[in-house]
Structure 1
Amino acid sequence: MAHPFTVREIARQAGVSDATVDRVLHGRPGVRAVTAGQVRRAIQELESQRHQLGLTGRRFLIDVVSDAPARFNTAVRRALENELPLLRPAVFRARFHLHEDWTLAGCVAQLDRIATHGSHGVVLKAPDVPEVAAAVERLHAQAIPVVTLATDVPVSRRLAYVGIDNRAAGATAAYLVSQWLGGQPGSVAVTVSSDAFRGEEEREMGFRTAMRQLEPDRPVSYLAGSNGLDANARDIMARALADDEGLAAVYSIGGGNAGLLAAFAEAERTPAVFIGHDLNPDNVRLLREGRISALLHHDLRQDLNRCCRILMRHHGALPEDQAGEASKIDVVTPHNIPAGL
């Protein structure tokens, strides 16, 4: 485990004691396997951020806590690590706590560990539930600011929300569905990963409001509970297709698009319109194949850069400025996929 980092640096990155790190580095007993894994991951994170650590300026250690499918969490990690060197002269280090299908208790416990060990700030994607709001309150009590990413926990002491206007995104999806369906009959299915994510709820509300204005007689069904996972999404859509022979379009808010489209293929049906979110590799492949009509996309790198700058302003490292606007929403079709994807 050769590396250039001090025991203290690794301990702060891993959120454990110096003695624990020393035992892991020298292969001594008395450390749980899960804790040893934390230390190894901390060294990997420091390695990936080594260039940033060589810069001069104020130093910030932040935590990124995300309950989301692996494809989103991977995109968040890559986006932040690409932005870190651009934040000079400040020096940012990030600890990542990224989980797919996380239990609520596990998420809250992680936030409480951060409150205990300390941090310059938390970037949080988590359900909007009282338990999470209470954990944010405990972080606030320890002078640790929280910025919510992509989905908000508005009734909490979080410092700011960074992401798109989710109601506007839902309304945009409704406009696209209505335009592309034209006069074709059929219902629309709206799928979400969970009822607990505020951002998904707001997208769904924006979609329904716009559809009532555009096509008040077109049925809209609500399909929840996939957790953004393909297998779950496939089962949920299969049941919906069995119950509704006229299902013509899908607005996929919560992901699992490969699973949703697999259910259509198994039923030997094809959606006339399919709108999703985010340019992750699975979605780009499906878009290129023409199986997704359009993706609503926003730049995660810009979002995470803004998260860091909000935390810097909170700590007095940047001057105050006006509140930032919501992230820009791009409509990406098979004909304008950004280069390099």
Structure 2
Amino acid sequence: MVARKVSITDVAKAAGVSIATVDRVLNNRGGVRTDKEDRVLAAARALGIDRALDRTPSRTLRVAVLIQPPTNPFHASLREGIDLASRMYATLNIKFFVKHIDPTKVEAIASLVHALGPYDGLIITSPDDERIREAISKISLKIPVVTLVDDVGGSGRSAHIGPDNRQCGRVAGDLMGLFLGNEGGQVLIIAGSKAITGHREREAGFREVISERYPLCSVYAVLETGEDQDNAGRIVELAFFKNRGIKGIYHFSSGALSIVNALQQMGNLERTVVITHELTSNRRMLLRARKLRAVIDQKPLLEARLAVETMAKLLGRLAGQASSISTDIQIFLTENA
């Protein structure tokens, strides 16, 4: 049986407008209020009307994007992904305005969310703090909010895009146990901030696997860098001064190069297993030089694109149901870096 072709009557019914309004929008005749135009295009795309797919809405929608500055290589990749996706979907007429935030200044982030100007949506990567949660809860009553990479639980956000961080930690724990082998040893965990949900979850997953499978391995300490790259190296120096028996480092923040440099200066690099996250250009170089043992990458360019697509769906500019997406990870060793 041949499926019935979608008609402008179907679009009019779905959009709650007249047939004449649908005809004016799809044939680009003008004279239609922007809110009605948006409804017609969203309905037409959802129903699969070919003429609507490349039709650029006349009203520009504005989306704020709150991420860390590009001095953090991972967030530089997120910014690149946002820019690429916005060019890919230029016909949707959505503009993304990136604002940089300091994850250690929670009150400032919450104030920025509260004070956001006339935006139609918000994409945010931030710590999971009660003040930020409250700010997102309030703004989500007005506009859709997508949390990217790190979730903010109970905030009323519309969707979350990011990896299963507990699973990431479990993968790292399994790798560490395998690399340390029969001798085992103590492992230093270096986080950016425990206020970040993903960092807490990675630590929890790592501890789970070590406890379940590797009785000769243990976590010596969990130290925070405050997302300061240079501080990561100082933390390693101090930790090894106090405990020369550390055999592994699990790191999931900025500062991998600083850590490697500190280990080299102390003469501990060759006998220390270092596992980190995100295959930035300098981490690829360190991995190829066998100064890192493994890198777990969560594909920031893909995450950013999915966040843009999800926001476009929430705003009715892209067809499909908007929902949270758990993204995949990839393990890089020296041979595939």
Secondary structure, counterpart of 2:308 in structure 1: helix
Give the distance between the partners of 2:100 and 2:322, measured in 1 at CA: 31
Secondary structure, counterpart of 2:217 in structure 1: coil
Counterpart for residue 201 of structure 2: 202
Percent identity reads 22
- Structure 2 length as normaliser, TM-score? 0.78
Give the distance between the partners of 1:209 and 1:223, measured in 2 at CA: 15
Change in Cα spacing, 1:306 to 1:56, as seen in structure 2 (3 Å) is same
Equivalent residue runs for 1:181-196 within 5 Å: 181-196=180-195
CA displacement 1:277-329 (0-9 Å, x = unmatched): 11222212211221111111122222122112222222233344374541110
Q: CA deviation at 1:99?
A: 3.4
Counterpart for residue 292 of structure 1: 292
Secondary structure, counterpart of 1:222 in structure 2: strand
Number of aligned residue pairs: give it: 281
Gaps of 5+ in 2: 1-54
Give the distance between the partners of 1:98 and 1:287, measured in 2 at CA: 29
Secondary structure, counterpart of 1:183 in structure 2: helix
User: Letter of the aligned partner of 1:136 in structure 2?
Assistant: I
Secondary structure, counterpart of 1:203 in structure 2: helix
Whether 2:84 is the aligned partner of 1:63: answer no
Aligned 8 A contact 1:118 1:144 in 2 = no
Counterpart for residue 135 of structure 1: 135
Counterpart for residue 43 of structure 1: none
RMSD across aligned positions (CA): 2.1
Q: CA deviation at 1:134?
A: 0.9
Structure having the higher Rg: 2
Aligned 8 A contact 1:124 1:147 in 2 = yes
Q: CA deviation at 1:88?
A: 4.8
Give the distance between the partners of 2:325 and 2:125, measured in 1 at CA: 19
User: Letter of the aligned partner of 2:80 in structure 1?
Assistant: R
Q: CA deviation at 1:89?
A: 3.2
Aligned 8 A contact 2:173 2:209 in 1 = yes
Aligned 8 A contact 1:162 1:327 in 2 = yes
Whether 2:312 is the aligned partner of 1:312: answer yes
Q: CA deviation at 1:97?
A: 1.0
Counterpart for residue 245 of structure 1: 244
The structure 2 residue matched to 1:80, chosen from 59, 78, 82, is 82
CA displacement 1:151-203 (0-9 Å, x = unmatched): 11112111111111101100011111111111134211111001100011001
Q: CA deviation at 1:102?
A: 4.8
Counterpart for residue 126 of structure 1: 126
Whether 2:229 is the aligned partner of 1:233: answer no
Counterpart for residue 148 of structure 2: 149
Secondary structure, counterpart of 1:305 in structure 2: helix
Give the distance between the partners of 2:179 and 2:104, measured in 1 at CA: 36
Secondary structure, counterpart of 1:154 in structure 2: coil
Equivalent residue runs for 1:165-176 within 5 Å: 165-176=164-175
> Whose RCO is larger (CA < 8 A, sep 6+)?
2
Equivalent residue runs for 1:11-160 within 5 Å: 56-57=56-57, 59-67=60-68, 70-100=72-102, 102-114=104-116, 117-141=117-141, 143-160=142-159
- Structure 1 length as normaliser, TM-score? 0.77
Change in Cα spacing, 1:322 to 1:121, as seen in structure 2 (3 Å) is closer
Secondary structure, counterpart of 2:115 in structure 1: helix
Aligned 8 A contact 2:160 2:325 in 1 = no
Aligned 8 A contact 1:249 1:274 in 2 = yes
CA displacement 1:27-70 (0-9 Å, x = unmatched): xxxxxxxxxxxxxxxxxxxxxxxxxxxx9346331111124653
User: Letter of the aligned partner of 1:193 in structure 2?
Assistant: G
